[in-house]
Structure 1
Amino acid sequence: MSPDLPPVAPSVTAELVAALPPRLRKRLDAGVTKLLTRPVTREGDTVRIAVDDGTDLVLSAPGGVVTGADAIHCGCLLAPACLHRAAAASAAPVADDAPAPEPGRATATRDGTEQTEAQPAARPGPTSGETAAGTATAAQRAAAREVFDAAAAVLEAGTDGAGAVLQAGLLHAAHTARLAGLPRASAAAVSVVTAVRAARTADPGYRLTDLAGALSGVLGVAHRLPHATGQELTELRGTVRQPYRPDGSLRLYGLFSEPVLTATGHAGAVTWTTDADGRLYTVSDVAPGGPARAAGAADRAVRMGDTALTHRELSRAGLAVSGATVSPTGRLGAGAGVRAVRAPGAAWRAEPLDRLWAVPATAQVTRALSGGQDLLFLEVTLTGTVRETTGDCLLADCGGVSLRLAAAHDDPSLPCRDNLRLLAAAVGSRVRIVARLVPGPVPRALLLATEHPTGPDARVDLGLDRLQRADLPAGAVAPPADTAPTVDEAPLHLLRRRVHQAVSGGRRVLAFAGSTPGDAVRLRRLGLATAAGLLDDLHAAAADRSRDAFGRLLPADTGRFTLTWLAAAFYTDVVERALCAHAWGADASEAGLPDGV
């Protein structure tokens, strides 16, 4: 995936790949790899790729997005039925396939989808064929099946084998789901394609865990939707845009700003604010772009009313808003009727912000694990660093809980990791922080903002502000990082690593039992009989290949393997969240999780 190319709508990529004859489809992956090495130039909304010395490939992207197959032109002799057009679409980021926004000022959410203010929520699906019980329509059931089959094919092949043709199949299924009124399934399918492309191009932002989560998400939605009714069906369908409702006048206080850098090719900043009652609101500026836009978005003016505040300034000041419109997630609208002016801010240790840190950590963790806000407002004492395979983490004591604080972003253009290293020298400092919970058997969170190491009245946004050594206490020296101590935890990794192996290597890597009997025995010995059974089923489903009367292998049962993998992925997710609650000392049952594993 090349960030130099404009985003291409899923339907365009699917159309161009489907039009290729079989002989060219076999060469598509090689064509994508070759095209990624060619020079790219941009002139306004036109992007030009030099295929060779005498041939150019031109992508026209009015508004920054390629929305039609005729917007990709090639100068080769085989055009328009050439390989180059499909390769360019397959190499470009995937655009949001949402319809044009309704009248109103539309802005981008953190995940890049658009929302239109002051508009009623669109009904997510057609009513034709819908029963009184609120079941899915025939078109929606067919679309869900297509999404499931296309995602199952990606899982079957793994990232190593999920080339442009399989990706195009999933994009076609995403477009079909969008037309059938299933925006949630469509968006989930697009996120899988984006993550697969990141994996195949060795994108430094790629995470296997994220791809596994995206795959289990799209498969889970597509599997449950045909049988869902009522409120569950409404949630599985999703909505194209979040509705904004009027919220009168608001007096807001800035908390912090964080950069946004997504795998879908969107970047920017989000500023978090709160009212006097502790309700959180966000102001976003997210659009197509890369790390440079994320780093510079904090100094862009907030698009709301007549205020000239930047995101960086708003995070430390306040805002008085009249005629406010708010989405269900707390995102503030910026429509024509909204008025906003600058107002005084407040320190973290002063009212009304102080009440955010007064909530016990266990209650905040329970809220996050039950599907609520995942931000944690904690007061910690910095105790050192610990070396892990993914990098050094900052250690902190939080009310007797040993907490590991990791960088929210690894991109070198953002100061997250550099700031974390400098904070390691402030051992012994007691500071208030804002972090995002990372579920797992060890207390862990992504550090987003902290009080200044030498001045509690100041604050530092770890992803946007760059600390200097002069900001540290006098004589502060970072201690050497310790090796991560052995944690006495349930060996859930024995199942989790097989789930992840299937995502990266496909079904074939699990077709051979290897050390599975030993792993299953260990899981049963430690009381994880369900995990052991799922591990056995996963390998059995992967290795189940029948032969015909002539000894030839019959097609594999993709459905059985996919459902077995989905069950294992769901189990590991639920158990990890239960272990997370236990690690923090929270009540798992209050978060809707099992008390035991």
Structure 2
Amino acid sequence: MSMSQDLPPVAPSVTAELVAALTPRLRKRLDAGIAKLAARPAVRDGDTVRIAVDDSTDLELHAPDGTVTSGAAIRCGCLLAPDCLHRAAAASAAPIAEPVAEGATSGASEADDSARREANSETRRDSSLAFASDAQRTAAQGLFQATAAALDAGTDGAGAVVQAELLRAAHTARLAGLPRAAASAVSVVTAVRAARSADPAYRLTDLVSALTDVLTVAHRVPYATGPELTELRGTVRQPYTPDGSLRLYGVFSEPVLSATGYAGAVSWTADAEGRLYTVSDVAPGGSGRAVGAADRAVRIGDTALTHRELSRAGLAVSGATVSPTGRLGAGATVRAVRASGAGWGEEPLDRLWAEPVADQVSRALDGGHGLLFLDVTLAGTVRESAGDVLLADCAGLTLRLAAAHDHPALPHRDNLRLLAAAPGTRLRVVARLVPAPQSRALLLACAHPTDPGGHLDLGLDRLRRADLPAAATPSTAAAALCSSDEAPLHLLRRRVHQAASGGRRVLAFPGSAASDDRRLSDRGLATAADLLDDLHAAAADRARDPFGRLLPADTDRFARAWLAAARYTEEIDRALCAAAWRAGRRLPVPAARTD
């Protein structure tokens, strides 16, 4: 376990404040200071976490509510305190705290409260015109520049100082009334930290998604109006509305282990009409919390059901409150008791699998929950760069079913290998759609191969060889899939991912850009070829002053070129995904530029 999991979460504004207070000399030593501090033991004593910097100096983080919300809560006993390196290093090493809900800002500074009230007042004045306020435009511009600097550096070069600047911009954006952009920026910082620490939970696709979202919002906010602006602003907390009494049936549970430093479990349930509801227990933590959350009682009413039990039982809820995404609230007025469950082949759960696959995919691509309920026949495996994936036939479609998580503490990958050893087996599965040129999804749960009435939560339960059928027949789907002819969109996607990981410099050197451009153009992807050419040109563009010295790179130009490529790839992936699933969506004609 890394030291960051032993430290309490620290508010982004606190980290930004402490790093900004450092002298230029200490800023250069900050990354080394974080690495040195990470090697020291952290001991928790009530609300205080104490780190022994050396034999005579202690560093303390005080978190009375579980979160460090002010710089004064981080105290150091060294001679240079409070302007020492240790305080900033501890804040930079700790997990990033979630935003405080509106009206619960006891730990915020008076200046922050004043700025928030002013921003909210200005937003309300402009709401009739639905234009971004001056504060939001300024915050969006600052956030774009800070994110562009992080993209320019890549994960290897985005050290604690770059991260702190992005956290400062995120804090300013939140005060200005842009919680969506602020949350995405925090996700970028957390993903960068995970990449730099070789965290097994890190995924490059998560970093790319967060970078794309924060740059998109920061770029569009100054120009957006009406419903688009409302969506770009986002909300700090999802509202919960009363929903009366509910009779729910457990469907499955999945562990949560995110690159943003949160872990736990989510149980999915359905009512008699097939509407889905979730019960969540997610908090700061690592793989241990993700594994253990399944056996903790769900946080709703007085029920003693664990998440593992709820996935196979039922729940009767009175006074229910529900968020727009279907998450059940756990307020004081909510009552819940255990009830009988239903098998996947019984009503009302059976209707989840009765919906046509194309309709399920269309709903997921249009912003739905993303779950797919499929009847499949296993067909073996195919090797990919990220590992083996399970092949399956679904009503004539050949699917790629990948592990939902690669962390070794979770059984996803082991269960996938065992299922691959039983080709010809027919199963009901629950998977999460992955927008990709092929029919692809993450496998979350499956019916028990030999017990018709049971199912397995593949992130929590371990499949055994004895659970597999004694004999199975091989399928020809693997050969058909491996011979499929795909558009070479990966040539552009690879450069987008390389830039997010290695920064602008990895695209600044001459390479295979010309051949990639030609391959894209030859396959009818002329816009992709233009975007790839612009991305390389923006990366290599370095002007010189009259004395021949290189001027600083234009990070904003590179960020715009990267964003155009990322958005294009994202939209084409969605369209190709719909075509692969026969979902009937038309290919869009995306703009080649975002400016």
Q: TM-score, structure 1 length as denominator?
A: 0.92
Matched residue SS, 2:482: coil
Moved more, 182-191 or 392-401: 392-401
Q: Partner of 1:126 in structure 2?
A: 121
Match of residue 137 from structure 1: 133
* C-alpha distance 360-52 of structure 1, shift in aligned 2 (>3 A): same
Q: 1:123–1:398: structure 2 CA closer, same or farther, 3 Å change rule?
A: farther
Q: 2:122 is aligned with what amino acid?
A: T
Match of 1:183 among 179, 186, 208: 179
| Aligned match for 1:553, one of 550, 553, 576 | 550
Secondary structure in structure 2 of the residue aligned to 1:379 = strand
- Which of 319, 323, 334 is equivalent to 1:323? 319
User: What does the per-residue CA deviation read over 1:357-410, in whole Å, with 9 as the maximum and x for residues that have no partner?
Assistant: 011111111111121120000000111122222122221111111111111111
Structure 1 portions without partners, runs of 5+: 104-121
Other-structure match for 1:588: 585
CA distance in 2, matches of 1:418, 1:100: 43
> What SS does the aligned partner of 2:423 have?
coil
Q: Is the 8 A contact 2:13 2:168 kept in 1?
A: yes
> Are 1:10 and 1:95, in contact at CA under 8 Å, matched by a contact in 2?
yes
Residue pair 1:375, 1:437 contacting (<8 A) in 2 also: yes
| Distance in 1 separating the partners of 2:226 and 2:141 | 20
The aligned residue for residue 511 of structure 1 is 508
SS state at 1:133 partner: coil
Alignment of 1:48 onto 2:76: no
Range that drifts further, 190-199 or 555-564? 555-564
Distance 2:497 2:120 in 1: 33
Deviation at 1:595, TM superposition (A): 11
Change (3 A) 1:101 1:353: farther
1:532 equivalent in alignment to 2:534: no
Distance 1:182 1:410 in 2: 33
2:22 corresponds to: 20
CA offsets 1:545-594 (integer angstroms, 9 cap, x no match): 222222222232222111111000000011111111111122123xx845
Partner SS state of residue 435, structure 2: coil
Match of 1:8 in 2: 10
Q: What does the per-residue CA deviation read over 1:298-326, in whole Å, with 9 as the maximum and x for residues that have no partner?
A: 11112222222111111111111121111
* Aligned-residue RMSD, C-alpha: 2.3
Could you tell me which residue of structure 2 aligns to residue 267 of structure 1? 263
CA contact (8 A) 2:201 2:257 kept: no
Q: Quote the residue 1:116 is aligned against.
A: none
The aligned counterpart of 2:309 is 313
CA contact (8 A) 2:391 2:478 kept: no
Counterparts of 1:537 and 1:309, CA distance in 2: 55
What is the DSSP-based 3-state SS (H/G/I as helix, E as strand, rest coil) of the residue aligned with 2:142? helix
CA change 1:306–1:264 in 2 (3 A) is same
| Equivalent residues, number | 576
| Paired residue secondary structure (2:452) | strand
Q: Which amino acid aligns with 2:281?
A: D
TM (norm. structure 2) is 0.93
Indicate yes or no: 2:70 matched with 1:73: no
Paired letter, 1:193:
V
2:91 to 89, 92, 108: 89
Match of 2:372 among 372, 376, 394: 376
- SS across alignment from 2:255: strand
Structure 2 distance, partners of 1:583, 1:134, is 38
Q: After the TM superposition, which residues 427-442 of structure 1 pair with which residues of structure 2 at under 5 Å, given as runs? A: 427-442=423-438
- Give the letter for the 2:270 counterpart: T
Partner of 1:499: 496
- Looking at structure 2, the residues matched to 355 and 277 of structure 1 have their Cα atoms a distance apart, in angstroms, of 8
Letter of the 2:85 partner, please give it. Answer: L
Which whole-Å CA distance do the structure 1 matches of 2:428 and 2:213 have between them? 34
Runs of at least 4 residues off by over 6 Å: 476-479, 481-484
Q: Who is 1:242 aligned against?
A: 238
- In 2, Cα distance between the equivalents of 1:508 and 1:595? 27
3-state SS of 1:126 partner: helix
- Deviation at residue 41 of structure 1 after TM alignment: 2.0
Shift of 1:419: 1.5
Which stretch has the larger CA shift, 6-15 or 554-563? 554-563
CA distance in 1, matches of 2:391, 2:103: 46
- 1: CA distance, partners of 2:253 / 2:121: 39
Distance 1:123 1:363, change over 3 A: farther
Shift of 1:237: 0.8
Q: CA shift at 1:513, angstroms?
A: 2.9
Cross-structure match for 2:482: 485
SS of 1:127's equivalent in the other structure is helix
C-alpha contact 1:126 1:180 (8 A) present in aligned 2: no
Give distance in 2, aligned partners of 1:146 and 1:242: 26
Partner of 2:36: 34
1:115 matched to which residue of 2?
none
Distance 2:369 2:118 in 1: 26
Q: Could you tell me which residue of structure 2 aligns to residue 200 of structure 1?
A: 196
Q: Indicate how the Cα distance of structure 1 residues 58 and 427 shifts in structure 2: closer, same or farther if over 3 A, else same.
A: same
User: 1:160 offset after TM fit, Å?
Assistant: 1.3
* Contact persistence 1:414–1:463 (CA under 8 A): yes
Paired residues of 2:379 and 2:478 also in contact (CA < 8 A): no
Residue in structure 2 matched with residue 110 of structure 1 by the alignment = none
Structure 2 spans left out of the alignment, 5+ residues: 106-116
1:270 Cα deviation from its structure 2 partner: 0.8
Query: In structure 2, what is the equivalent of residue 109 of structure 1?
Result: none
Distance 2:590 2:423 in 1: 35
Deviation string 1:194-245 (CA, Å, 9 cap, x unpaired) is: 0011111111111112111111110001110111111111111111111111
Q: Percent identity?
A: 72
Whole-angstrom CA distance in 2 between matches of 1:39 and 1:140: 42
Residues 380 and 390 in structure 2, CA contact (< 8 A), matched pair in contact too? yes
Deviations 1:320-339 (A, max 9, x none): 11211111000111212222
Task: Confirm or deny: 8 A CA contact 1:135 1:230 kept in the other structure.
Answer: yes
Aligned match of 1:522: 519
The residue correspondences of 1:114-513 to structure 2 (distance < 5 A) are 125-127=120-122, 130=126, 132-474=128-470, 485-513=482-510
Distance in 2 between the 1:529 and 1:180 partners? 40
Q: Give me the whole-angstrom Cα distance separating, in 2, the residues matched to 1:43 and 1:418.
A: 38
Q: Indicate conservation of the 8 Å contact 1:268/1:287, yes or no.
A: yes
- Structure-2 separation of matches of 1:349 and 1:123: 55
1:59 is paired with a residue of what secondary structure?
strand
Report the Cα distance in structure 2 between the residues aligned to 1:197 and 1:523, rounded to whole angstroms: 34
Distance 1:519 1:244 in 2: 49
Cα separation, 1, equivalents of 2:509 and 2:427: 51
Cα separation, partners in 2 of 1:595 and 1:154, compared to 1, 3 Å: closer
State the one-letter code of the partner of 2:158: A
- Once residues 285 and 65 of structure 2 are traced to their aligned partners in structure 1, the CA distance between those partners, rounded to angstroms, is 13
Q: Flag the 1:478–1:78 CA change in 2: closer, same or farther, 3 A.
A: farther
What is the letter of the counterpart of residue 451 of structure 1?
A
Structure 2 partner of 1:117: none
Tell me how far 1:89 sits from its aligned partner.
Answer: 0.8
